[in-house]
Amino acid sequence: MSTRAFDPVLVEVVKHELAAISEEMAIAVWKTGRSAMVKTGDFATALCDRQGRLTGQGYAAPFQLGFFMEVMTHLLEKYEGEFRPGDVIVTNDPYAGITHMPDVMLVAPAFWNEQLAGFTMAYSHHTDIGGRFPGGFSSQCTASYEEGVRLPSLKLVEGGVRNEALLEMVLANVRLPEEWLGDVEAKIAGCWRGEQELRGLLDEYGLETLDACCDHLIDSAETATRRAIRAVPDGRYRYEDVLEDDGFGRADVAAPIVVTIDVAGDTLCVDFEGTAPQAAGAINLPLSLTRASVYAVVRSLVGPEALTNAGFARPIEVRASAGSLVHPEFPAAVGGRAPLFFRVVDMLYRALAQAQPDRIPIPGEGGDVLHFTGEREDGSPFALLDIFFGGWGGRPGDDGIDGVAPMEFGSYGTVPAEVLEREFPLVVDGFGYVPDSGGPGRHRGSLSIYRQWRFLARGQAMVRTNRVRRPSEGMDGGGAGVLSTNVWDPDGEARVLENRAHMHLPVAPGDAIYHAIAGSGGHGDPWTREPERVAADVRDDKVSVAGAREDYGVVIDPITLVLDCDATHALRAAAASE
């Protein structure tokens, strides 16, 4: 745009063109990926300009875009001036921007008229990366060396020629080599599709105009973020919590986590000083994901018109002491970092709610997982990763939303039971809501979601639970959601298991596992909830007749499920007079 006057319409057009390119990349990955995780949405794509700055919105969750920026910083430090047409770089290094080893990212420099014009990025979670435990994300590893094959930003394709030796080495160390390679090739296709579309954009507008538009989009995101931060009252907002699992399920663990948010004008600083030292187990949160967690939460304060790009991050500072739970030092294991990730996000929202109680909701619950590995009757290996979510907590102005991914996860889905049963030796015996599990409140928290799997083959199952001993508390007088539940039925006799972040269970044909995600907290006094809404919840099997009376002071006829207005008024009046 240095060759023409500033054109806001052109900038808007380019913004949407970049978003469309990222979506084209995502479609290529989704249509060609092999694993169930790609099919359900645990992947992302994005674009950077030729300076390596994240520019477009990207087909990605807010937290993913946060660590994408970290990856590019490390990549530029290593390969500055060495990018060539046809290159594709692969990395899964938790100490170079990635958040744990199963997450494999590909980055490809894009060229136009023999000039570096930008970078395309494609990431997905792989169902295996080698290592001691199938899946590569058990909390019971004690060092990075146990967690799988670590790829420190290597050229998988150089000048269009694939590095067969590197691929052969990786495939020899993962449990599902064909699926692993299929997903990598899908991401290569996505990156090259992005370069193809970017060239078309450059043919129309030229590199100088694209550079200027990217400058404006980045500056605009910074301006929008500063404006949103200015709307938060200046001050210091602190929240403390305790992580009750060191990765091994010991009952005497109480690792403090401390979040302090300082808001001053149009800048925001998040400091984790006071958080416990890094753990021996693999629950540690890499600094890249700590920063990405902060970005994801702040993103919810900013209007939808602003992009999550390099400019968005400029007014935000994140501080964490090296060697702590949220900034571990190599070779600390980090594969099982999800329970701590969800807890940090929860704390950030609750700290900000002190500043904006009428705006900030209770965070969502979920991201719980079943990982199932073994061999089919024909001897071929399989690995299943089934992730699902509970929903959002109560909001200042409305109920939580049942059965959706938390806001920081964006558009993640759940693998349909039909896909699981078609591709893996198991049956989904049940999938639904758990009544009376959402935190009571004027605005109810989301319900617990349960899933039950019955296995048709012998193998190893791992269950990840994100709420093990501390429930999702309510806000402004709301009640807590219920804790997660795990039931194992290995021999016809169901056993309720003590909650742990990660549990490894041997399973045989006929065995079953029942897992219920924690419910989310409610917002506001539940006895002020409109009786008609409670009655609707009863009719929808979200609240029982007894729960309506005990938690909400609402009387429902147990036969007709009709609201008894007089009895409800009398019950609430009696309680108010006590």
By C-alpha distance, which of 391, 218, 234, 396 is closest to 311? 218
DSSP helix/strand/coil, 475: strand
Helix H or strand E encompassing 8: helix 8-32
Phi, psi of 144 (to 5 degrees): -55, -30
What is the model's pLDDT at position 416?
Answer: 87
Model confidence pLDDT, tens digit, residues 496-537: 998 888 999 999 999 999 999 999 999 999 999 999 999 999
Q: 């910074």: which residue's tokens?
A: 222
Distance between CA 501 and CA 246 in Å, rounded?
8
Residues 6+ apart with CB under 8 A from 400: 361, 362, 364, 391, 392, 393, 394, 438, 443, 444, 445, 446, 520, 522
Confidence class for position 1, pLDDT limits 50, 70, 90: very low
Q: DSSP string covering 173-205, please? A: TSS-HHHHHHHHHHHHHHHHHHHHHHHHHHHHH
Distances (CA, A) of 237 to 407, 449, 470, 522: 21, 32, 21, 21
**pLDDT tier at 411, thresholds 50, 70, 90:** low
DSSP class of 408 = G
pLDDT band at 2 (very low <50, low <70, confident <90, very high): very low
Phi, psi of 458 (to 5 degrees): -75, 145
Decide: 426 and 400 in contact? Cβ < 8 Å.
no
Q: What is the pTM of this model?
A: 0.94
Instruction: Please say whether the beta carbons of 548 and 473 come within 8 A.
Output: no
Residue 523 per-residue DSSP state = B
pLDDT at 3 over 60: no
Give the whole-angstrom CA distance, residue 59 versus residue 122. Answer: 9
Q: Give the Cα separation of 326 and 441 in Å (integer).
A: 32
Say what percent of the chain tops pLDDT 90. 85
Q: Which residues contact 329 (CB under 8 A, 6 or more apart)?
A: 278, 322, 323
Least confident of 13-17, 100-104, 245-249, 449-453: 245-249
Q: Rounded to whole angstroms, how far apart are CA atoms 106 and 83? A: 14
pLDDT (tens digit, 9 = 90+) per residue, 449-504? 999 999 999 999 999 999 888 999 999 999 999 999 999 998 778 899 988 889 99
For 190-228, write each residue's pLDDT tens digit. Answer: 999 999 999 999 999 999 999 999 999 999 999 999 999
Ranges of each domain in the chain: 8-221, 361-528, 531-577
Beta-carbon count within 10 A of 269 CB? 16
Computed over every residue of the chain, the mean pLDDT equals 94
Output the CA torsion sign for 498, 501, 505, 507.
Answer: positive
> Comparing C-alpha atoms, which of 221, 391, 216 is closest to residue 304?
221
d(CA 516, CA 513): 10
Q: Is 402 left (phi over 0), alpha (psi -120 to 50) or beta?
A: beta
